Amino acid sequence: MSQRSKLRHSREQWKHKARQRADDHRYLRKELARIKRERDHHQQALSAAEARLHAYERAPASRVVQTKADVIELALKLFLEARRSFRAVSRALKSLADVLGLKRPPCPQSVINWVMRLSIVRLQSAALPRGSALRAAPFANGWLWLIDISLTLGAGKILAL
């Protein structure tokens, strides 16, 4: 091989390596730029979310529920006026817990207890008829007959009057 041919061959090899390195560098430069753009986008989204969170935390506490009495009142309204079941009331309060400001939403058994207490208070505050009306119809004396429909079966079943 001549000197000139060796030089040309060496030069071609050098060009080939230079092109490969340039392609690799170009690819890495583009990837790095893409990753930096994504990082900046995510950092901006994070700072915007933190700003919204701080604004939400600084806002005055305009929560619907301030005390346990408010929770009980809301649960009783859902049960009596909206005609929802005990479990549905519990699920509704659980799904609205963040909006209402509840740390721990009530379970269905709590709702049952509150409804039973309300019914006992209403029974005790019912006015009894006086005089001859009581003697004429002893079972129609203004009291309500309640039948407890509990979930228990067998010997544990309770009939409350």
Tokens 């950092």, residue located: 43
Q: Does 152 reside within a domain? A: no
Under 8 Å between Cβ of 67 and 100: no
Query: Residue 51: which domain range?
Result: 1-59
Instruction: Work out the pLDDT band at 161, boundaries 50, 70, 90.
Output: very low
Any domain includes 155: no
Predicted TM-score of the model (pTM): 0.45
- Verify that 50 and 78 share a domain, yes or no: no
Q: CB neighbours of 140 closer than 8 A, spacing ≥ 6?
A: none
Residue 153 lies inside a defined structural domain of this protein: no
- Confirm whether 129 is domain-assigned: no
Mean pLDDT, residues 52-64 taken together: 75
Same domain, 47 and 8: yes
Q: Is residue 48 located within the same domain as residue 72?
A: no
- Rounded distance between C-alpha atoms, residue 160 and residue 24, angstroms: 84
**26 and 68 co-located in one domain:** no
Portion of the chain with pLDDT greater than 70, in percent: 74
Specify the number of domains making up the chain.
2
CA distance 27 to 14: 20
Mean pLDDT over the full length of the chain: 80
54 and 70 fall within a common domain: no
Q: Are residues 77 and 55 in the same domain?
A: no
pLDDT at position 133: 55
